[in-house]
Structure 1
């Protein structure tokens, strides 16, 4: 699954793939594969990124265009 929003969120925050990979404690090449859809992103990384960007997982997965987290 290609996760375009991962790249958009990262770029909107002016962050490099290396910076996000460091946050997730993985190599930059692994994170690059997530963004390009060559590797499935583990749930723990998806949760960490949603928390970091303060958006819902559904927003990252493009199931909604509303980034708000439903409480």
Structure 2
């Protein structure tokens, strides 16, 4: 699973818009949409921010595990 799909799933599960997540990552909705659609790579600092925001592991976002638990 590509991390972009996980980003979208987490966003939708939390009833948030791309604009909401843009604020979390301190970027525009357009930039966030490009991360989610695979047109731009999410920087590592963005991955860390999302993992902390959603309280999941970075491995979960990356699709390396199906466990959301942070260690």
Common fold: TM-score over 0.5: yes
Q: How many residues align?
A: 70
Distance 1:22 1:57 in 2: 19
Taking structure 1 as the reference length, the TM-score comes to 0.93
Structure 1: 4+ residue segments shifted above 6 A: none
**1:35-46 alignment, distance < 5 Å:** 35-46=36-47
Unaligned runs of 5+ in 2: none
Distance 2:3 2:60 in 1: 13
Distance 1:52 1:28 in 2: 17
Taking structure 2 as the reference length, the TM-score comes to 0.93
Unaligned runs of 5+ in 1: none
The root-mean-square deviation of aligned C-alpha atoms, in Å, is: 1.1
Shift of 1:11: 0.4
